Structure 1
Amino acid sequence: MSLIEARGLAVRLGAQTVLSGVDFDISPREIVTVVGPNGSGKSTLLRALIGAVPISAGRVTRAQGLRLGYVPQKLQIDPTLPMTARRFLNLPVRATPRKTAAALERTGAAGLEARQLADLSGGQLQRVVLARALLADPQILLLDEPTQGLDQLGSAAFYRLIEDIRTDLGCAILMVSHELHVVMSASDRVICLNGHVCCHGTPEVVASAPEYRALFGSGTQGALALYRHEHSHRHDHDHDHNHSHEEAH
């Protein structure tokens, strides 16, 4: 059973056709990553799947009562706007203090409730935004380039956190990203998009596909193997190191 399914999806923004003929589905507990060059329609696909932009052709079917959690691209916080992490987590629906504390603990952001959003590091802010998405107890978590602005170590730590959340909470994950070697190593399936679906499949299949290599070259396959080796042998040490390194920035 699919949580979200699209068939023949097309989206026009003004006079421009951004997406055409897109078939997509995601099953419970699956991690699916969408990659593609700038302007390929990645963010538009996410927004079309959740009903945030109208479609011009095709159909999108969502499971009845589907609970969504959404993490947008990096928020731009006005430094003069007084808003604590606690207040942000209670918009638009107030949650209990116990539930907000549990969500922050789950994302590695415990103790940040009273901090001003404008004072948080990039990594801390994204963990708070992720905690807010988890308050909906989502069946599917959608992330639109969530590590934009983070350094490489911070990005790797964040994506490992996403993997842990899928394992612990059992939700599906749909990610959009440009960080090919990190994202593809964390995915069950990859969709390569360039206005339409160029290729799709497991990370290894997509990394060796001619359509993918035409867009990105062949360097990612080696990086993918290296990252998987490091991930499997150094996960615990790297996770702790990356987290502390990220917060220092």
Structure 2
Amino acid sequence: MKLIEAQGLRVSLGEHPVLQGVDFHVDPGEIVTIVGPNGSGKSTLLRTLIGAVKPQAGKVTRKPGLRLGYVPQKLQIDATLPLTVARFLSLPHRISRAEGRAALEEAGAGALEGRPMSGLSGGQFQRVLLARAILGKPEVLLLDEPTQGLDQPGSAAFYRQIEQIRARLGCAVVMVSHELHVVMSASDRVVCLNGHVCCQGHPETVAQAAEYRALFGTGTHGALALYRHEHTHTHDHAHERGHDHAHDHHHDHAGHGH
């Protein structure tokens, strides 16, 4: 059974049409990456899937009782508010200290429990948001450009964390990305969005599609070139393990006919 299925979505924000005729689904345990240019409706699609935005046409069907975890693109917290990480995790529903610690450990933020939210770096903040999203043991984890603003090693480390969480919780992952070259290695399916679904399938298939190339280009600065580049440079042993893992993923999937 599909965890989430959207059919024929049409969404406008004010007078502005954002999504038109979008079909989308999430199967148990898969990693789906949504890519597309700015203004292509990626965030709106995610917000429609979780029920925060109501479509003008079409419908979203979720498995009854589906547990969702959501990491928003931006979350403004008043810097003058004396809010620790542990307290933040307990909003709006109080959780035990053990639950909070376990979620932070899982998200790679175990040492941050007592830190003020206002003093966190970008990467630390994202990991705390991730910890909060996995508190309810979600069946689908949805992340909206979670590595925006992080450097490449920080992004790669964050994505490895997501893979580990997927492996342990068995949850599906839906990720909106702005950097295809890092994400592709772990994705089971890539959906290219530009107000409508341009193309979708296994990363290799999408990277070869004319519609994808029209949006992202094929030259030195194109996403595919960066994706290749990602696998050919190793800087230290930790990175090498990460690259090899991504490379294995890439070859595992290359043999499947999606």
Aligned residue number for residue 84 of structure 2: 84
Q: In the alignment, which residue of structure 1 is the partner of 2:225? A: 222
Match of 1:247 in 2: none
Q: Distance in 2 between matches of 1:121 and 1:99?
A: 23
Match of 1:245 in 2: none
Equivalent AA in structure 1 for residue 48 of structure 2: A
Q: Could you state the TM-score of these two structures normalised by the residue count of structure 1?
A: 0.91
SS in 2 for 1:111: helix
Of all paired residues, the percent bearing the same amino acid is 65
Q: CA deviation at 1:122?
A: 1.1
Q: Displacement of 1:240 after TM fit?
A: 9.5
Structure 1 residues 35-184: aligned runs within 5 Å: 35-184=35-184
Per mean C-alpha deviation after superposition, the further-off stretch among 178-187 and 30-39 is: 178-187
CA RMSD between the two structures: 1.9
Q: Which residue number in structure 2 is paired with residue 246 of structure 1?
A: none
1:185 touches 1:227 (CA, 8 Å); kept in 2? no
Structure 1: runs of 5+ lacking an equivalent: 242-249
TM-score, normalization by structure 2 = 0.88
Contact 1:74 1:149 in 2 (8 A): no
1:178-204 Cα distance to aligned partner (Å, 9 max, x none): 111011222110000000000000100
Cα separation, 2, equivalents of 1:30 and 1:80: 40
- After superposition, the Cα gap between the structure-2 partners of 1:188 and 1:236, relative to the gap in structure 1 and judged at 3 Å, is farther
Give 2:246's aligned residue.
none
Change (3 A) 1:235 1:50: farther
The whole-number CA distance in structure 2 between the counterparts of 1:76 and 1:146 is 15
Counterpart-to-counterpart distance in 2, 1:201 and 1:14: 32
Distance 1:8 1:236, change over 3 A: farther
Are the aligned partners of 2:33 and 2:177 in contact in 1 as well (CA < 8 Å)?
Answer: yes
Question: 1:75 Cα deviation (Å)?
Answer: 2.6
Structure 2: which amino acid aligns with 1:86? A
Determine the C-alpha separation between the residues in 1 that align with 2:109 and 2:140. Answer: 21
Question: Are the counterparts in 2 of residues 157 and 239 from structure 1 also a CA contact under 8 Å?
Answer: no
Deviation of 1:222 (Å): 3.3
User: How many Å separate the matches in 2 of 1:27 and 1:228?
Assistant: 28
State the partner residue of 1:237. Answer: 238
Cα offsets for 1:129-187 (capped at 9, x unmatched): 10011101100000001112111111111011111111111000000011110112221
Q: Distance in 2 between matches of 1:235 and 1:78?
A: 39
- After the TM superposition, which segments of 4 or more aligned residues of structure 1 sit over 4 Å from their partners? 233-236
- The alignment partner of 2:112 has SS state of coil
CA distance in structure 2 between the aligned counterparts of 1:49 and 1:236, rounded to whole angstroms: 39
Structure 2 counterpart of 1:222, one-letter code: A
Report the 3-state secondary structure (helix = DSSP H, G, I; strand = E; otherwise coil) of the residue aligned with 2:143.
strand
| Offset of residue 221 of structure 1 | 2.4
Q: Which amino acid is 1:134 matched to? A: I
Q: Corresponding residue for 1:213?
A: 213
Distance 1:183 1:116 in 2: 30
Structure 2 SS opposite 1:199? strand
1:202 to 2:202 alignment: yes
Change (3 A) 1:28 1:236: farther
User: Contact (CA 8 Å) 1:26, 1:32: kept in 2 or not?
Assistant: yes
SS where residue 11 of structure 1 aligns?
Answer: strand
Greater shift, 142-151 or 30-39, is seen at: 142-151
Measured in 2, the distance between the counterparts of 1:53 and 1:174 equals 17
Quick one: distance in 2 between partners of 1:120 and 1:173?
A: 25
The residue type paired with residue 220 of structure 1 is: A
Match of 2:65, SS? Answer: coil
CA contact (8 A) 1:29 1:172 kept: yes
SS at the partner of 2:99?
helix
